[in-house]
Amino acid sequence: MTVLYAVTLGVLSAAALLTLVRLVRGPSALDRIMALDVIVTLVIAGAAVGMVLRDDTTAVPALVVLTLLAFIGSVTAAYLVEKREGMR
């Protein structure tokens, strides 16, 4: 099972690197906002894999808070983009 965890963390790391590329090269602000949201989601997933690997669930409340913040950030970004598009 340890190999599976290592592969999972490797895939999450590769996804984070590709998302960082989108964060740096993103042509619009919405691309950058969504890239940050994806990075937060990948951090949450990596922390969850680490918790399973260590058989420790003490960080679950922190993951719930991060998840809620990511959701609120996504909704706020969508609202602001919609508001900006309506002004044009």
Question: With a threshold of 0.75, does the pTM exceed it?
Answer: yes
Whether residue 43 has pLDDT greater than 70? yes
pLDDT at site 31: 85
Q: How buried is 87 (Cβ within 10 angstroms: 0-12 exposed, 13-18 middle, 19+ buried)?
A: exposed
Percent of the chain scored above 70 by pLDDT? Answer: 98
Residue 23, CB half-sphere, CA atoms under 13 Å: how many? Answer: 13
pLDDT at site 82: 80
Boundaries of every domain in the chain: 2-87
